[in-house]
Amino acid sequence: MDSKRRGLIKALGVGGGLALAGCGGSSSSAAPAGTPAVRTPNLPDDLPESVVPSVTFVHGVASGDPLSDRVILWTRVTPAEDGDIPVRLTVATDQAMSQTVAVYTATATAARDYCVKVDAEGLQADRWYYYQFSVGTQTSPVGRTRTFPESDNFIDRARFAVVSCANYPYGFFSVYRAVAQRSDLDFVLHLGDYLYEYGPGEYGDFPERDPLPPQEMVSLTDYRLRHAQYKTDEDLQAVHQQFPMIAVWDDHESTDNSYRDGAGNHQPLTEGDWEARKAVAQQAYFEWLPIRPREPGNFSVIYRQFQFGDLIDLTMLDTRLEGRDEQLGVPLDPARNSENRHLISAEQMDFLLDSLSQSTAQWRFIGQQVMFGQLNIAELPSLTEDQAQLRSNLSAINMDQWDGYAADRLKILNHIDDNDIDNVVVLTGDIHTSWATEIYRNPSSLLGDLFDKPLAAEFVTPAVTSPGFPDGAAELAGVLIPVVNPHIRYVEAKSRGFILVDVTRQRTQAEFYYAQSIESYDLRGQIDTSKTKVVAVNSGDSRIVEDGPVSWPRTLRTALNNPALPLNSVSGNEVLS
């Protein structure tokens, strides 16, 4: 068990690289433009068949960071022999790839582990596209992606999934399969722990899913091999193939409980210099994920902004590696309130506050890694003897989340209040459990502002496979936590799943869906509807409303007019348990 989960449960009971072809930005992103890709109206001349390198595309395709005129398109070429590989990328409006709208060229090289990332610029806003990479007559799977509407366009609805914490050795990625089957989503938001660093048996031992390489990843080669292994999973491939992904890292993409200057799971005497390890982890992440660098070669900055018409402004943060001070070792250390302790840098704080102030969208979303809302567990009602497993564990606070950096959180909340900024929703991963929380500066019912209007709402997504609380502790947490935390309206502490976020002009609704099983191959993608939970906030009011009806699929606009690609395996129908 990694140390964050252990701490909270205690408190609560391969080779070289990529040629970047045009990883730039546009007016709807914080990233400045980079070198444009080669875009030609006609297909380029094919190489003679005798000189075309022999390759395969075993890691699938992916897209990400959609803007109104471009989107990152990704694949990884596996060559039979080392050497530079010329790659062609075709973008079309149909699955058969016959209605071509653009062609781009790139080069896969050992220097970037034969990953290919193209910033496919020059596309039309608010459109779905299909894309395919090729080397000679050898082709990748076809992928499906979209551009976002322009920021001044009136948009009445958006739908996206929120996921995090996918540990390969803990079971099948059933949750990814369930997301891939939601053909009407606009995008997928991944809030970190896309992969885990541990060696075999250290954190999960599901049969035939031992991590590669067979040791903790430390070197650039280690990180690349682990990314390569994850990208061979058919359910992860299915999500990437169907939707663009907006992703940020958390700690396990480098190592557990990492921060700017070190990590809880890094031993300098045996694992070398932290800065070197962090740098290669970041490099591998940018090679293997469809994320747009701020400028070519910058692998350290991932905070950025997206706009989905005039409906959503989405600000993505890095609360892990960019500006975080080391976590406090003592949970009730008063230093957690110090203005000299930071979770994000001053530059990133200014970026966030400016994004909130300048937003003219109907909703303002913040996508980030660790729990934002307060978790007050110093006082609880008396526990009976059968609850003794929690008796000594319910008096601490998780110093890895915003509770350990209270001054930074207060600065954000004061900014929201002082500037009359409404409709703020925080989306969070990291903790392997499900939460819906109303956000106040001080949620105490006696001396705080619990009876005032909440300043924001937070929805925390469950894990894809990583474990939550043990049986017994999970059920008790769900009952006891809201007793002393009335601002926490929903807790589910052990089931794996995802959040489907349905956004209209009138409300933002979070629907928590839970996988039937992560242990059965045949049940991959199936949802246990008996556990589904619906929460929502209305426009102009961040108070959480519970147990409304699930949202209707957007069949005509997305699924019918821009059909999803056939999944490569089991179709998972929702089932009742």
Asked if the structure places residue 26 within a domain, the reply is yes
Asked if the structure places residue 493 within a domain, the reply is yes
The strand ranges marked E within 219-360 are: 244-247, 258-259, 262-263, 304-308, 312-316
Half-sphere exposure of 129 (CA within 13 A, CB side): 32
For residues 191 and 302, the answer to whether their CB atoms sit within 8 Å is no
Alpha-carbon gap, residue 440 to 452, rounded angstroms: 8
pLDDT score recorded for residue 40: 52
List CB contacts of 563: < 8 A, sequence separation 6 or more. 95, 183
Alpha-carbon gap, residue 81 to 54, rounded angstroms: 8
Asked if the structure places residue 107 within a domain, the reply is yes
Alpha-carbon gap, residue 86 to 88, rounded angstroms: 7
Report the amino acid identity of residue 343.
Answer: L
Asked if the structure places residue 439 within a domain, the reply is yes
For residues 565 and 129, the answer to whether their CB atoms sit within 8 Å is no
Place of tokens 């193939």: 241
| CA distances for 124 relative to 67, 518, 547, angstroms | 10, 39, 38
Alpha-carbon gap, residue 475 to 420, rounded angstroms: 38
Asked if the structure places residue 116 within a domain, the reply is yes
* Longest distance between any two alpha carbons in the chain, whole Å: 79
Asked if the structure places residue 575 within a domain, the reply is no
Residue 529 structure tokens? 């509807």
Alpha-carbon gap, residue 535 to 514, rounded angstroms: 15
Residue 17 structure tokens? 């690289």
Any idea what DSSP says for residue 45? P
Q: Taking the model in full, what pTM does it have?
A: 0.89
List CB contacts of 327: < 8 A, sequence separation 6 or more. 257, 259, 264, 399, 400, 404
pLDDT score recorded for residue 379: 44
**Total number of domains in the chain:** 1
Alpha-carbon gap, residue 515 to 181, rounded angstroms: 13
Q: Alpha helices of 504-574 — where are they, by DSSP H?
A: none
pLDDT score recorded for residue 558: 64
pLDDT score recorded for residue 451: 76
CA angle 233, 239, 245 (to 5 degrees): 120
pLDDT in tens, 491-515: 999 999 999 999 999 999 999 999 9
Mark residue 287 as left, alpha or beta (left: phi above 0; alpha: psi -120 to 50; beta: remaining). Answer: alpha
pLDDT score recorded for residue 561: 74
pLDDT score recorded for residue 563: 86
Domain that holds residue 382: 3-560
Asked if the structure places residue 318 within a domain, the reply is yes
Alpha-carbon gap, residue 11 to 187, rounded angstroms: 35
Residue 469 structure tokens? 């609380």
pLDDT in tens, 339-357: 999 999 999 999 999 999 9
| pLDDT tens for each residue of the chain, 577 residues long | 455 555 544 444 344 333 333 333 333 333 333 333 445 544 445 556 658 999 999 999 999 999 999 999 999 999 999 999 999 999 999 999 999 999 999 999 999 999 999 999 999 999 999 999 999 999 999 999 999 999 999 999 999 999 999 999 999 999 999 999 999 999 999 999 999 999 999 999 999 999 999 999 999 999 999 999 999 999 999 999 999 999 999 999 999 999 999 999 999 999 999 999 999 999 999 999 999 999 989 999 999 999 999 999 999 999 999 999 999 988 778 898 999 999 999 999 999 999 999 999 999 999 999 999 998 765 444 444 444 333 233 333 689 999 999 999 999 999 999 999 999 999 999 999 999 999 999 887 656 677 789 999 999 999 999 999 988 888 888 888 888 889 999 999 999 999 999 999 999 999 999 999 999 999 999 999 999 999 999 999 999 999 999 999 987 766 567 888 988 633 333 333 2
pLDDT in tens, 438-496: 999 988 765 667 778 999 999 999 999 999 998 888 888 888 888 888 999 999 999 99
Asked if the structure places residue 548 within a domain, the reply is yes
Any idea what DSSP says for residue 126? T
Alpha-carbon gap, residue 368 to 382, rounded angstroms: 35
380-385 long-range CB contacts below 8 Å, 24 or more apart?
Answer: 380/480, 380/483, 380/484, 381/480, 381/483
Considering only CA atoms, give the Rg of the chain. 23
**CB atoms near residue 12 (< 10 Å):** 23
Q: At 337, phi and psi to the nearest 5?
A: -95, 0
Residue 113 structure tokens? 């582990």
The strand ranges marked E within 347-423 are: 363-368
For residue 421, what is the domain's CATH number? 3.60.21.70
